[in-house]
Amino acid sequence: MSGKKFEQEQHTSPPWRGPRGGFPVVMKGPEYNPTRRDFLRTLSAGAGFVWLSPWRVSWASPTADAGTLRLLYYTDLHTRVEWDTPLALDMAAAKMNEQGAELAIAGGDLITDGFQSSSETVAPRWNAYMKMHRSLRADVHPMIGNHDLVAADPDDGTPPSENPRREFLDHFALDRTYRSFDAQGYHFIFLDPIEVLRRPQRYRGYIDDEQLAWLKEDLAEVNPDTPIILGTHIPLLTNFTQATEGATIANPFHRVVENNREVLDVFRAHNLLLVLQGHVHVDELIRWRGTTFITGGAICGRWWRGEWHGTNEGFGMVTLQPGRIDWEYIEYGWTARRPAHL
C-alpha cells in the first residue's frame, strides 16, 4: 500500500493508545504466557482477543502431533535505494539471522511502488531486496504483495504489463503466486489476494474463483487434524481501521480481503492454526474461532519514516511446538532517515 495515500486516509493516533503508542492491551509486560483459563476469561468478554504490542505472547495450540519449528516472518519492506534503506535491510537481515530460524516467510510488498512503475524503474529495488533475501540463512518462502506487481497500472501512461506478476515469479523461480508446501508436520498455504481493477480503484483485496477452487482441491488432500498456516499479504481479519479511525468505520476495499468469509469457510473442517498477514504495517494479533491472525508489522515501519501507530521497524518470530505457539515482534534498531516532507 502506498505510504502517502495510506497516511492521508488515517487520523492521527488517538489519545487513548496503549503503552508505546500501541492499541490498548488486555495485559502487558515483557512476556505474557496465558493459561487456558486466561484465554477463556478473555473470550468471555467477547468473540476473541486482540493484541497490538511489541511484547512476546504465547498460547496453547492443538499441535500435539506436529514438530517444533522456528519460523521467521517479515513483511512490508517497501525496498528502495534512497535514504540508506539498503543499509537498513542489512541491519534487519543481521538481526534475523541471529534468531536461528529454520524457515522464513516474506509477507509481501518486498519492493515499493512496483504496481504503478515500469520494470526499468523498479530493477534497482529488486536488486536491493534480492541481496537481502540471499543473505538470510533460513530457507525463504515469499508471498506476493500489491507493490510487488510491476506495471499493473503505470503512472507514466505506458501500456500496462500483460502479466504484472511475472517479475515476482521470475525472481523466485515460481510457477504461480499461490501455492502450498509442508514442513515439520505443518501445512503452509499462500494466497494471492490482489485483484487488479481499473482506475481510480486500481486494486482490491479479493480471492478469485480460480484460487478458491485450487484451495478446496489442496485441502482435500490434507488430514483435517494437520495444523495449517495460511499466508496472505492483504488481511483476512484486522481491527486496524476500527482502532485508528473509530469502532464503526468500515474497512476500505483495498485494505482487507473482501470475500474473507468465503475463504475462511473453506477451512471449517480443518485445523487452521495461524493466518500470517501484512499490508497495514502494525503488529496485531486477533483470536477468532480457534485461529490466531497475526499482522506482522513492517520492516519499513511508516514507509521509512519511523514508527507507525506504535509499531516500529521490525519483524516477527513464531515458535511452533507441540501444544504451544510463541510470537515475538523484534525491532532491529533502525533510525529513519527519510525526510519528513517526502
User: Mean pLDDT across the chain, nearest whole number?
Assistant: 87
Q: How far apart are the first and last CA of the chain?
A: 16
Residue 283 lies in a domain: yes
Q: Number of helices (H) and strands (E) in the chain: give both, helices first.
A: 8, 16
Closest-CA residue to 174 (of 142, 151, 149, 152): 142
Residue 342 lies in a domain: no
Residue 40 lies in a domain: no
Identify any residues that bridge with 186 across adjacent strands, giving them in sequence order. 183
CB atoms near residue 9 (< 10 Å): 13
Closest-CA residue to 220 (of 190, 258, 180): 180
Please state, for a pLDDT cut of 70, what percent of the chain lies above it.
84
CATH number of the domain bearing residue 69:
3.60.21.10
Question: Residue 44 above 70 pLDDT?
Answer: no
Residue 27 lies in a domain: no
Closest-CA residue to 277 (of 253, 302, 260, 289): 260
CA angle 78, 260, 210 (to 5 degrees): 85
Per-residue pLDDT tens over the stretch 269-312: 999 999 999 999 999 999 999 999 999 999 999 999 999 999 99
Find how far residue 13's CA is from the centre of its chain. Answer: 21
Per-residue pLDDT tens over the stretch 168-200: 999 999 999 999 999 999 999 999 999 999 888
* Cis omega (within 30 of 0) for bond into 200: yes
Question: Residue 79 above 70 pLDDT?
Answer: yes
Per-residue pLDDT tens over the stretch 6-36: 433 333 233 223 333 333 332 233 344 444 4
Question: Residue 83 above 60 pLDDT?
Answer: yes
Residue 43 lies in a domain: no
pLDDT classification of 99: cutoffs 50, 70, 90 = very high
pLDDT classification of 82: cutoffs 50, 70, 90 = very high
Domain that holds residue 154: 3-12+49-331
- Domain tally, the chain: 1
Residue 30 lies in a domain: no
Q: How far is residue 248 from each of residues 1, 138, 240, 241, 242, measured CA to CA in Å?
A: 23, 42, 12, 9, 7
pTM above 0.75, yes or no: yes
